[in-house]
């Protein structure tokens, strides 16, 4: 290669990259020594290959740095748009459907008769268990007759509102136990384990509904209520 061509290449490179440190293979002293030695027939092809490689590498790095910036901006823009879209959707739901009411954590309450009841959505009204799913709306929002609680009786009811009988087939509302009537069919809702001692006349009763205890108002009324007729012979009002 001719000296003029090499010098021209060197000058062009230094003019373009005057603020950049020259690579070792284009150091001025190195080129000068090459020129003096007259070894211009082969200013090593390795030098040019390394020179070309370095130029290509610098170009790639510069190009990559330019390409990364738009990608990052695009990613950040997409994330911001997603967040804004979610916020807009939530706001639209609030405008259309309104703010949902506070959900009750429990429906358990005490009725005015001091029995276990069901608390309505208004957080004030407490209804008796027998008012649940009876075909009459007692809560202002109708939740006492909703399918949520009445769709599969008694399993959808809160457990504290119903009593499962000993036969595991029948059930009754909690405020019906210990009322002197056989709602279960096996008298388990009137058992001494659950209820106070009989305040009337205790005997083996004739009628299925009595569960071995009759009120004293039925003593000596000329109607047999006990199998041994004790309600007519021994019972006193």
DSSP string, 121-170: TTSS-EEEGGGTTSSS--STT-GGGSHHHHTTTTTTS-GGGEEE-TTSS-
In sequence order, what E strands does the chain have? 108-110, 116-119, 126-128, 162-164, 171-173, 201-202, 213-214
Average predicted confidence (pLDDT) for the chain: 79
**218 falls within a domain:** no
Model pLDDT for residues 49-96, shown as the tens digit of each residue:
544 545 444 554 445 555 556 777 888 888 898 899 899 888 887 788
pLDDT band at 217 (very low <50, low <70, confident <90, very high): very high
CA atoms within 13 A on the CB side of 134: 12
Residues in CB range of 15: below 8 A, 6 or more apart: none
Residue 136 has pLDDT above 80, yes or no: yes
**144 falls within a domain:** yes
Task: Please name every residue paired with 173 in a beta bridge, in sequence order, or none if there are none.
Answer: 162
Q: How many CB atoms lie within 10 A of CB 180?
A: 15
**118 falls within a domain:** yes
**2 falls within a domain:** no
CA dist 41 and 3 (Å) reads 9
**228 falls within a domain:** no
Whether the Cβ atoms of residue 199 and residue 180 lie closer than 8 Å to each other:
no
The whole-number average pLDDT for the span 200-217 is 91
Give kind and range of the element (H or E) at residue 28.
helix 28-37
Residue labelled with tokens 């738009």: 70
Q: Angle CA(187)–CA(192)–CA(195) in degrees, nearest 5? A: 90
Range of the structural domain that residue 133 is part of? 101-179
Q: Pairing state of beta strands 116-119 and 213-214?
A: unpaired
Q: Pairing state of beta strands 171-173 and 201-202?
A: unpaired
pLDDT winner (highest mean) among 16-25, 61-70, 87-96, 110-119: 110-119
- Number of structural domains found in the chain: 1
**14 falls within a domain:** no
Residue 20 has pLDDT above 50, yes or no: no
**113 falls within a domain:** yes
**48 falls within a domain:** no
């Amino acid at each position: 290669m001719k000296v003029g061509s090499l010098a021209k290449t060197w000058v062009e490179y230094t003019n373009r990259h005057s603020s950049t440190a020259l690579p070792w293979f284009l150091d001025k002293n190195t080129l000068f020594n090459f020129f003096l030695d007259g070894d211009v027939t082969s200013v090593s092809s390795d030098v040019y290959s390394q020179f070309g490689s370095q130029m290509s590498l610098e170009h790639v790095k510069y190009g990559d740095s330019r390409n990364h910036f738009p990608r990052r901006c695009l990613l950040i823009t997409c994330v911001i748009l997603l967040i804004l879209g979610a916020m807009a959707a939530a706001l639209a739901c609030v405008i259309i459907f309104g703010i949902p009411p506070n959900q009750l954590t429990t429906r358990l309450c005490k009725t005015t008769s001091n029995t276990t009841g069901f608390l309505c959505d208004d957080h004030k009204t407490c209804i008796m268990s027998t008012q649940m799913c009876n075909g009459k709306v007692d809560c202002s929002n109708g939740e006492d007759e909703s399918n949520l609680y009445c769709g599969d009786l008694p399993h959808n009811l809160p457990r504290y509102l119903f009593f499962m009988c000993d036969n595991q087939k029948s059930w009754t509302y909690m405020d019906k136990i210990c009322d002197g009537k056989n709602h279960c069919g096996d008298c388990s809702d009137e058992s001494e384990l659950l209820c106070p001692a009989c305040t009337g006349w205790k005997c083996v009763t004739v009628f299925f509904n009595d569960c071995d205890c009759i009120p004293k108002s039925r003593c000596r009324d000329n109607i047999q209520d006990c199998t041994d007729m004790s309600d007519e012979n021994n019972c006193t009002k």
